[in-house]
Structure 1
Amino acid sequence: MGRRDLSLLKQSIDESFRTFSRAFGDELEAFFTPLLKFLIFFEKLLTGAPWPLVIAVIALLTWLGARSWKITLGTIIAFLLIGRLGMWENTMATLAIISVATFVCIAVGIPIGIFMARSDWAQRIITPILDVMQTIPSFVYLIPVVMLLGIGKVPGLIAVCIYAIPPIVRLTNLGIRLVDRDVMEAAESFGASSREKLFGVQIPLALPNIFAGVNQTIMMALSMVVIASMIGVKGLGTPVLQAIANQYLALGIMNGLAIVALAIIFDRVSQTYGKRLQAYRETGHD
């Protein structure tokens, strides 16, 4: 392909994307409006609620997930320090977008993983797409998203979801495919339908793998916090960018450590819960 042909191809792609953006931009914004409203509501709920109540709820959720007083106490101390150092609002904004992004990834990723597990041709088609999603630099996601939806929370949320969704899809697919054939044959011998086998046998046995996927999705979503702040997503990434631009070392380190604290809490809770599910599957009791 010559240089002129390559230039014409680039112009054709750019013009096609502009035409698509002009034709469907408003419809896409309307489609994502409910998600934007929910994200704003959740963020206002976290930032507006009294901090002792927020910490108490987070500590309760941590205990229910990890059943470890050490992890729960560490979580309480971490959030008290975050509040004491003046990073509460940014942390709550980050917690809101990570939570919503994780729920979106779970809601979209698990059905796709199930579809891949039940269809070999779907797996052959979707796997290369997941490979591309995981290998393309995260900055590249921002280009088409910003061109379509502009600057704001929703474009940032979509970019986070695109980057974070592959693990939950892959591990859901893997978990269901790893279910023992003898177990499936036993379910069939009892006359279980495809739906009953899926929800009564395959998904329960695949839960440890699925939660491992949730863990990795959360970690990847947190890694996008700083990049998402470049397109208007409020949170801990914003002061990190300010620190980079203005050489504020202390500001950058403090907010970076807050992101690390969130990552450690999410990681420990989800990993511990996954191990409990694994133990339950192997022993038959909690």
Structure 2
Amino acid sequence: MLRFEDQIIPLDSWINQFIDWLVEGYRWFFQAIKWPVEFTLTGFETGLLAVPPLVVILVFVAIAWKSSGFRLALFTAITLVLIGLLGLWEDTMITLAMVFSSVFFCVLAGIPLGIWAGRSDRFEAIIRPCLDAMQTTPAFVYLVPIVMLFSIGNVAGVLATIVFALPPLIRLTSLGLRQVHPELVEAGFALGATNWQVLRKVQIPLALPTIMAGLNQTIMMALSMVVIAALIGAGGLGSPVILGLNTMDIGQATIGGLAIVLMAIILDRITQSMSHKNNTQGGD
């Protein structure tokens, strides 16, 4: 009779041994990965905290006005002032620095990989299972190996966020390129354009609305990771939420969550408006 209790595969032990082997033998490699992320995060964080709050508010209001108009600009101004009055300005700037850093590296990696996947069926077939695994794996599962390999703190939170938020940008970049009508691509080649010229002047401009939608999703997923990253020592708006949960302080947790929601609305509306403008220009 089959008894699973007597035939358990010690996969957990094998994984632990593998992580220990990585930490002991390749710490230099993971520190090399960590350095550019830490440098970028420190730059964003230092810059946002050094600039007077009024200047930051005016910059965001100007971006909102340019991208969407008066209503979003007014909402942005009221929201940022409210966040400051709630005593969460510094945490918000740290969160924005983490989001900007994560999105920066997602764009650096995601758009080239998405272009490659959009132009190569073989590569798309290879990367699709990886993206499926990245999107379906619970976010908490990322935290243990990230902490083991990179220790705790804001940098570890950014690295976990990059892994969590990268797939939508790759998928939608690939989708955007594949949706470009083949006759337009053929016309570009027929006119003597090179592969690079067709990509830069035909495929990317036509796929830009879809790529912007992928960027929007990446930003939203990066913000959603803020609270989870706080569990491994990342600062920002996730800290009051986790602290409120641990101390059963519903007020503190609520204002932290409210600030995250308000920032998500601002960034979502700005990126959606940019995507809509690109789509309109493409249609014209």
Which residue is equivalent to 2:204?
Answer: 203
1:193 paired to 2:155: no
Counterparts of residues 134-213 of structure 1 (less than 5 Å): 134-213=135-214
Query: Aligned residues: percent identity?
Result: 42
Which residue is equivalent to 1:30?
Answer: 32
**Shift, 1:162, TM fit:** 0.8
How far apart are the structure 1 equivalents of 2:65 and 2:215?
18
Which residue is equivalent to 1:227?
Answer: 228
How far apart are the structure 1 equivalents of 2:99 and 2:87?
20
Distance 1:10 1:29, change over 3 A: same
**Shift, 1:221, TM fit:** 0.7
1:252 paired to 2:262: no
Q: Which amino acid aligns with 1:269?
A: I
**Shift, 1:60, TM fit:** 1.9
Aligned pairs, number: 282
Q: Decide whether the 8 Å contact of 2:110 with 2:170 is kept in 1.
A: yes
**Any unmatched runs of 5+ in structure 1?**
none
Q: Which amino acid aligns with 1:76?
A: A
Write the deviation string for residues 31-59 of structure 1: whole angstroms up to 9, x where unpaired: 32132022112112111221111111122
- Of stretches 29-38 and 209-218 in structure 1, the one that deviates more from structure 2 is 29-38
Which residue is equivalent to 1:42?
Answer: 44
**Shift, 1:268, TM fit:** 0.6
**Shift, 1:99, TM fit:** 1.0
Give the TM-score, by structure 2 length: 0.95
- Of stretches 231-240 and 36-45 in structure 1, the one that deviates more from structure 2 is 36-45
How far apart are the structure 2 equivalents of 1:2 and 1:11?
17
Q: Which amino acid aligns with 1:59?
A: V
- Of stretches 50-59 and 191-200 in structure 1, the one that deviates more from structure 2 is 50-59
1:15 paired to 2:17: yes
Q: Which amino acid aligns with 2:98?
A: I
Q: CA RMSD in A?
A: 1.4
**Any unmatched runs of 5+ in structure 2?**
none
How far apart are the structure 1 equivalents of 2:158 and 2:237?
15
Q: Which amino acid aligns with 2:36?
A: P
Give the TM-score, by structure 1 length: 0.95
Which residue is equivalent to 2:121?
Answer: 120
**Shift, 1:10, TM fit:** 3.3
